[in-house]
Chain A
Amino acid sequence: MNKLGDSWLLSLIGLTGLAVIVSLYLVFVYVPTELIMGIVQRIFYFHVPSAWVGFLAFLVAFVAGIAYLMQREPRWDMVEVSSIEIGVLFSTIALVTGSIWARPIWNTWWTWDPRLTTTLVMWLYYVASLMLRRVVDSEDRRARFGAILSIVGFVNVPVVFLAIRLWRTIHPVMFSSEGFEMAPGMLLTLGSSLVTFTLLYLCLLVIRVRIEYLSSELSRLRQLSIPARS
């Protein structure tokens, strides 16, 4: 990676660090405590952005999958696999923090609610797709297989998003056709956390794609070194 790329990445990391500090201040100091749920409602400010980044990451993987099938450029495969991995991380965070939040509010760690169930199905699918990719030896076939998996898997993402609108559910609806149903201070804090998590996703994606690039460089160098050995 060149020096321009490095300074750009360092600026992005610095901006993300700053955004994390601002968000933590807003969540723990600025925002008022919710009247009914109390302080445990503050989980919401990082739970929703985690779910959002999961959706965003799977959308990016879906687009990269289509781009790979159209152009057969290895860089799209690098973006696709990296984005899925990060999406799985943030979906895990959304599932676990949701479960922790549910315990005092719903009096259970888990319930087979449509939103929770579809999220779990989505998570399982992408975890399985990361595992299945590794089974394929040929780089080109692995990339094609991964692209198809990311495209097919994305079908479930709108279902997860719409689950609370399509079916009867106990999961709260955050925004409706009338807009966001929350106080301005809470909306500001949520907005800040959404920006922070999106920046965090971008940082992780850039670093993770770099690793994929280094890995392909290593494979290339190893192939080049074979004639020298023989």
Chain B
Amino acid sequence: MKNFWYLFAAYTFIWTAVFAYIYTIAQRQQALEQDIKALQQAMERRIGKGD
């Protein structure tokens, strides 16, 4: 099992990088969906008031 730690480090890096990216884009998507929802609700309220 010579050089096992190099193999371990490489695969750990690959999956950490991929999952970190997936986590980042999931957070971005969630934040955008919340912003859109809040803006839609605010606009609906304004339309309801007749502004």
Contact call A221/B10, Cβ cutoff below 8 A? no
How many Å lie between the Cα of A200 and that of B42 in the bound state? 37
A115 at the interface (CB under 8 A from B): no
Contact call B25/A207, Cβ cutoff below 8 A? yes
A38 at the interface (CB under 8 A from B): yes
How many Å lie between the Cα of A39 and that of B36 in the bound state? 50
How many Å lie between the Cα of A224 and that of B43 in the bound state? 9
Given A211-B29, A214-B36, A228-B43, the answer on whether A93 and B7 have CB atoms closer than 8 Å is no
Given A39-B7, A100-B10, A103-B6, the answer on whether A215 and B32 have CB atoms closer than 8 Å is yes
- Kindly state the interface size class of chain B when it binds its partner: 20 to 34
Contact call A93/B13, Cβ cutoff below 8 A? yes
How many Å lie between the Cα of A11 and that of B43 in the bound state? 35
Using a Cβ cutoff of 8 Å, how many contacts connect chains A and B?
A: 81
Note all chain B residues with C-beta closer than 8 A to A86: 21
The stretch among A40-48, A117-125, A179-187 that forms the contact with chain B is A40-48
Contact call A43/B17, Cβ cutoff below 8 A? no
The residue on A at minimum CB distance from B40 is A221
Contact call A100/B39, Cβ cutoff below 8 A? no
Interface residues of A (CB under 8 A from B): 38-40, 42-43, 46-47, 50, 86, 89, 92-93, 96-97, 100-101, 103-104, 200, 204, 207-208, 210-211, 214-215, 217-218, 221-222, 224-225, 228
Interface residues of B (CB under 8 A from A): 1-4, 6-7, 9-11, 13-14, 17-18, 21-22, 25, 28-29, 32-33, 35-36, 39-40, 42-43, 46-47, 51
